[in-house]
Amino acid sequence: MPFSAWLRIGAPLAFAGLLEAQGTVSGRIIDKSTRTPVLGAEVMTAVDGRKVIADSAGRFSLSGVPDGAVRLVIRAQGFSVSTFDVTMKPGATLEPIIQLDSTATGRSEAQPLPGVEVTTPASRGPRFVDFERRQRTGRGQYLTKEQISRMGMNSLGETLRTLRGVEVDCGGGAGCFVHMARAPMRCLPEWIVDERLDNFFGPRTPLQDIEAIEVYSGPSDVPGEFAGRNAGCGVIVIWTKSGPPRRRP
């Protein structure tokens, strides 16, 4: 498939071929007591310190995991630091369910109120009401500026690559391109930037300008307001610091 058919999102990522040869851990983090997902949990490999952040459904995907015994370190607000050991084979994908014990933190029952997130309408502002409404449904994957910062990534492509069902192809000297794993070949996602369709500048949005990201990887995830001709290819919604330009009266 010619790379000209894809959307370019930046410079090629280093070591892409090496990561493909290694394994992937795509799992879910839940509270052992309540069986609810743990939003924003940090999953880090002890061997090299690489990390990803769990989405609103507690899901995470950590690619490029080396072969052999690997220890994962999990940190989440309201929980003790935990470890989880996996044994990787070349190219394998593991899908563990990791349980964190909220009763093991040593706190009294009156204290664990970590469910109040920094992405509530009161803290992020009225412009993000729709983002927060969709986030509460749990149908897509959501990242806030704070979560993106904790990831330590250098580009939008690297950040999207950590999300479930999102593929970033690099190589051939043509840069890196986003494609949803469930979408047909040559089927590119729609990019919405500050509530406007923008398939040209969307993939080129500087990471430091982003306030929040929504990713819908298939037609069953896409909200009605984004349904359209190419919605089946997935939708990526970008919220920037500046927001849309003001309309003239």
Can you give the residue range of the structural domain that contains 210?
121-240
Domain total of the chain? 2
Using the Cα atoms of residue 154, residue 158, residue 164 and residue 166 in order, give the sign of their dihedral.
positive
Give all strands of the β-sheet with 190-193 in edge-to-edge order.
141-144, 210-216, 235-240, 190-193, 196-197
Indicate if the pLDDT at residue 233 is higher than 80.
Answer: yes
Alpha-carbon distance of 157 to 162, in angstroms, equals: 9
Instruction: Please indicate, yes or no, if residue 181 is contained in any of the structural domains.
Output: yes
CATH of the domain at 91: 2.60.40.10
Instruction: Please indicate, yes or no, if residue 107 is contained in any of the structural domains.
Output: no
Which token pair is 56?
Answer: 């609103």
Chain segment 194-205, per-residue pLDDT in tens:
989 898 888 889
Instruction: Please indicate, yes or no, if residue 223 is contained in any of the structural domains.
Output: yes
Residue pair 172/3 in contact by the 8 Å Cβ criterion: yes
Instruction: Please indicate, yes or no, if residue 191 is contained in any of the structural domains.
Output: yes
Alpha-carbon distance of 213 to 41, in angstroms, equals: 17
Same domain, 157 and 194: yes
Chain segment 38-87, per-residue pLDDT in tens:
988 999 888 777 889 998 888 998 888 888 888 898 988 888 888 888 88
Q: Is 219 exposed, middle or buried (0-12, 13-18, 19+ CB in 10 A)?
A: middle
**Confidence class of residue 215 from pLDDT cuts 50, 70 and 90?**
very high
Instruction: Please indicate, yes or no, if residue 247 is contained in any of the structural domains.
Output: no
3-state secondary structure of 74: strand
Indicate if the pLDDT at residue 90 is higher than 60.
Answer: yes
Secondary structure element (H or E) that encloses residue 191, with its range: strand 190-193
pTM exceeds cut of 0.85: no
Same domain, 127 and 165: yes
DSSP secondary structure letter of residue 7? P
- CA 214 to each of CA 56, 145, 207, 210: distance values in angstroms, whole numbers, following the listed order: 11, 12, 14, 11
Arithmetic mean of pLDDT over the chain: 77
Same domain, 199 and 132: yes
Secondary structure E strands in 20-67: 23-31, 42-45, 51-53, 59-65
Alpha-carbon distance of 143 to 160, in angstroms, equals: 10
Same domain, 208 and 127: yes
Same domain, 57 and 146: no
The last residue of a domain, from among 100, 131, 166: 100
Same domain, 73 and 146: no
